[in-house]
Amino acid sequence: DSGVTQTPKHLITATGQRVTLRCSPRSGDLSVYWYQQSLDQGLQFLIQYYNGEERAKGNILERFSAQQFPDLHSELNLSSLELGDSALYFCASSGASAGGGYPGETQYFGPGTRLLVL
Amino acid sequence: AQKVTQAQTEISVVEKEDVTLDCVYETRDTTYYLFWYKQPPSGELVFLIRRNSFDEQNEISGRYSWNFQKSTSSFNFTITASQVVDSAVYFCALSERNNAGNMLTFGGGTRLMVKP
């Protein structure tokens, strides 16, 4: 158990809908990351937050947004869902080193949320 | 741009065989970090090892060992005396020092099947 929790574990929804995925980082970790794992794209970085602020952005669609709250949990919002958004979405967190969230910190992954868009 | 290549998409071995998973990376950065993760059939991603670009020492942890060679930009992973429980998808990943954050770039993964 990595200590990172994600809810829900599974989500089935229809095209055009909006969903929210939730992540709680390991105790003490200030950085939260979101990744998407799909069959055609593999594992792709979406976005990183550090202590409530956006730190880095990857190939995240405009229909997707994220935030990190004062209690450090994070939410990933996916809207206007398309069939191609079906994937496993991982949250990861990393350690609270000074000015943290920098390269080299080991990221610990949650169990993922499996999203199926019908 | 950073890139990680795992040329072996699938490997099948019989229990107790040794197996090496290859990882080749590309980066323009002189400081970078390499990782291996395991994804068992249950789906979670489990951290195995982290290496920085200044440390080329090979590492051994039980049946697992890692060979880091900067000259060939490779970070290969060997499982000795494989077991059925080693069956999983293994990912190699790279993080560059010059990134604004700490994004990981993953290889495509190698599916390892260990047969009894």
How much is the pLDDT for A103? 75
pLDDT of residue A9: 97
pLDDT in tens, A63-102: 999 999 999 999 999 999 999 999 999 999 998 555 566 7
Q: Please judge whether A56 and B103 are an interchain contact, meaning their C-beta atoms are less than 8 angstroms apart.
A: yes
Write the DSSP assignment of A54-94 as a string of letters.
EEEE-S--TTEEEEE-TTS-EEEEE-S--GGG-EEEEEEEE
SS3 A98: coil
B101: closest CA of chain A, how far (Å): 5
Q: What's the whole-number average pLDDT of chain A?
A: 93
* Measured CA angle at A28 (ends A27, A33), to 5 deg: 85
Any B CB within 8 A of A56 CB: yes
Question: Which of the 8 DSSP states describes residue B109?
Answer: -
Chain A residues with CB inside 8 Å of B42's CB?
Answer: 111
* Rounded Cα–Cα distance for residues A38 and B40 (Å): 16
pLDDT digits (tens, 9 = 90+) for A4-60: 999 999 999 999 999 999 999 999 899 999 999 998 889 999 999 999 999 999 989
